[in-house]
Structure 1
Amino acid sequence: MSRSPGYDDMMIFCRNIAIIACLGLALSTSADAQEDPSKYPTRAIHIVVGFTPGGGNDLIARIVGQKLSESLGQAVVIDNKPGGGAIVATEYVAKSAPDGYTLLIGASGAMAINPAVYARLGYDPVKDFIPITELGSFPLILIVNATSPIKSVADLITFAKAHPKEANYSSSSAAFQLVTELFKQKTGAPMQEIPYKGANDSVMAVISGQVTATIADAGPVSGQVKGGQVRALAVTSPTRAADLPDVPTMKEAGTDVDAVLWSGIFAPRQTPPAIVKKLEAELTRIIREPDVAARLKPLGIQPVGNSSEEFARILAADIARWTEVARAGNIKIEQ
């Protein structure tokens, strides 16, 4: 087939135009992906929660998210991705773009305790994330049925040692299991774990008399304590809970158990330092506001708001601590 004069030149010209267009598109896409951190944020921020709506971590996210939206001038969307003890949500954020637009509400269960008990995880809390700030910490409460003859921590230890086949406890996650395992290791009390799907089910098992005891979140269970449905034996924090001033600490009750859980904000690793610092400054300010503290108090949550570096040290220390507890208790979960 014969070609008209200049055909080859025209083809070369068109090819070059196509290459230039593709390069322009690639550069435009790259520029969008590498947004100027000083202009952050320019669109909605998503905070991912690994639990269903209505729980403690979800409520923290919504309280803080509303304030963050007001201060940054962009929408903050709460994405609930429950499943696998927050594993689903944590893996999702670990694989998200490190641009500051996908953040994680990371509880100590997912970030410090899951790595201690799961043989395999699809994320590494240290290698895959940057801790931005610890939003809040909260104690747990050791409870028994209100009609139980067990009226103190010492009574529970005595009962468990005298009835090793009968003494048991309910647990709804690896976090509660390991805190109870720590109690067992410190006291020598032989108690068998009875797993339940959720925290409410775990507490109801105590109320209905299905189990001897449980360790539960202070916020959700304080109402049952005040209502006389359960008896609080001790709190796991170093100081007494403001909402339950008559309940002793574990140390006051004669046991060397100190366990405080926490929730914080994490970003995917490689998020630009300027964005991390901006989020850190905003979130630490927000969590310390009096009206935020007032909304968190009924949940049994103590506002914290520390630096990224300090939060990273807490995370590393907790991973080491709970790994040792799991190893001593021979606790390993296969997926």
Structure 2
Amino acid sequence: MKVLGRRAAIATAGALAVTGQASAQDFPSKPIRVIAPFGPGTATDTVARVIANELGKLTGQSVVIENKPGAEGQIGAQAAAAAAPDGYTVFITTQTTQAINQHVYKSLTYDPVKSFAPVCGLTLGAQIVMVKNELPVKTVAEFIALAKKEPGKLSFGSGNGSSRGGAELFRVMAKIDVLGVPYKTQPQAIGDLLGGRIDIIFSDFTAGLPAVLDGRARGIAVTSKKPIPGLEQFPTVDSTVPGFEMWAWTAAYVPVGTPKPIVDKLNALIREAMKSESYLTLTKTTYGIPFPGTPEELAAFQASETKKWGEIVTVAGMQEP
């Protein structure tokens, strides 16, 4: 009986493998849903829409974006985790849901590792540090001096984990007392900066840079260690606060249990989409870095990012009570 049971298990595994390969050959045969855990106008949403559009061209299928913002991406992550593991729901997200939240919150409605299968990295990008035009500072050093002169009176806004992480780490490393104000999405936080209701934001370039370039806000620095080609007018935070660096990333996942052949097919399709003119234009105009790779490479990268963000959250005291 044991021998027969083992043979049956082997036969079943073989049948599933053949079925997975066959389904991957036909994939996709119906519309694909892409869940973005942040709202329209965010960097995540912008990347998701470009990838979705290119996937539609490559497959001949409709690819629909569903924005599910809120709770630092947890609402979208939960929806994606609960979807059928068949490749027809793709979760395009960031380090906020996959590497930060587990350190900030005591419990989550999803597991960043166990709920998802990695598919492919998409973009890497630094942040622009923005202040409201009314604030009498033009440099990081001047902001720090003002914050030390008026402790607890200045405020920073954030609409995602990396934005909050950048500001909190800056607060700790610069030894200043600045009040944090959370928002549902980054565009909302930027809207309040432009309206003069908060003082400073660490923002992805997609959401924040246009307001700086057209004069609605003042850019005082970037969060990369080296100046960014094309944006040399903005010095690095590191030049004033040695050792400071902050990067954000986007990547694609599917619900755990999605057959490996379909994961590999999606990986190939997304990497092809990343060769498109629209994707390359996106990375050029938002000063992003293309970040393709295998599912295994994304899994390893996520693990290293999770460790890094655990240290940042602890140092910055970002844990929720």
TM range (shorter): 0.7 to 0.9
Match of 2:111 among 124, 132, 135: 124
Distance 1:102 1:248, change over 3 A: same
Distance 1:68 1:204, change over 3 A: closer
Would the aligned equivalents of 2:129 and 2:220 in 1 still touch at CA under 8 Å? yes
Q: Structure 2 CA distance, aligned partners of 1:185 and 1:235?
A: 17
Distance 1:208 1:41, change over 3 A: closer
Match of 1:293 among 280, 300, 319: 280
Structure 2 residue 259 is matched with structure 1 residue 264: no
User: Any idea what the Cα deviations from partners look like across 1:44-96, whole Å, max 9, x if unmatched?
Assistant: 22211223344332222221112112222332222233332321221122122
What letter matches 2:35 in structure 1?
V
SS for the counterpart of 1:251 is helix
**Equivalent position of 1:184 in the other structure:** 171
Would the aligned equivalents of 1:288 and 1:304 in 2 still touch at CA under 8 Å? no
**Equivalent position of 2:137 in the other structure:** 150
Structure 2 residue 265 is matched with structure 1 residue 278: yes
Q: Structure 1 CA distance, aligned partners of 2:272 and 2:72?
A: 29
SS for the counterpart of 1:36 is helix
The TM-score with structure 2 as length reference comes to 0.85
What letter matches 1:320 in structure 2?
K
User: Any idea what the Cα deviations from partners look like across 1:108-152, whole Å, max 9, x if unmatched?
Assistant: 212212112111101111111111111112221112223433221
SS for the counterpart of 1:126 is coil
User: Any idea what the Cα deviations from partners look like across 1:289-317, whole Å, max 9, x if unmatched?
Assistant: 33321134334433321222222122112
User: Any idea what the Cα deviations from partners look like across 1:198-235, whole Å, max 9, x if unmatched?
Assistant: 32332243334433322122122222212223221111
**Equivalent position of 1:15 in the other structure:** none
**Equivalent position of 1:36 in the other structure:** 23
Matches within 5 A, 1:96-175: 96-175=83-162
Would the aligned equivalents of 1:220 and 1:299 in 2 still touch at CA under 8 Å? no
Match of 1:237 among 206, 212, 224: 224
SS for the counterpart of 2:209 is helix
Distance 1:43 1:205, change over 3 A: closer
SS for the counterpart of 2:76 is helix
Matches within 5 A, 1:67-106: 67-106=54-93
Distance 1:257 1:279, change over 3 A: same
What letter matches 1:102 in structure 2?
T
For the pair shown, the structure with the greater C-alpha radius of gyration is: 1
Structure 2 residue 316 is matched with structure 1 residue 323: no
Q: Structure 2 CA distance, aligned partners of 1:70 and 1:131?
A: 23
What letter matches 2:138 in structure 1?
K
Q: What percentage of residue pairs aligned between the two structures are identical? A: 29
Q: Structure 2 CA distance, aligned partners of 1:52 and 1:207?
A: 18
Q: Structure 2 CA distance, aligned partners of 1:194 and 1:40?
A: 44
SS for the counterpart of 1:47 is strand
Distance 1:285 1:252, change over 3 A: farther
Q: Structure 2 CA distance, aligned partners of 1:153 and 1:255?
A: 12
Query: How many residues are matched?
Result: 304
**Equivalent position of 2:13 in the other structure:** none
> Structure 1 stretch 313-322 or stretch 117-126: which is displaced more?
313-322
Q: Structure 2 CA distance, aligned partners of 1:222 and 1:250?
A: 16
Q: Structure 1 CA distance, aligned partners of 2:158 and 2:23?
A: 46
Distance 1:179 1:73, change over 3 A: same
Over the aligned positions, Cα root-mean-square deviation in angstroms equals 2.4
TM-superposed CA distance for 1:243, in Å, is: 4.8
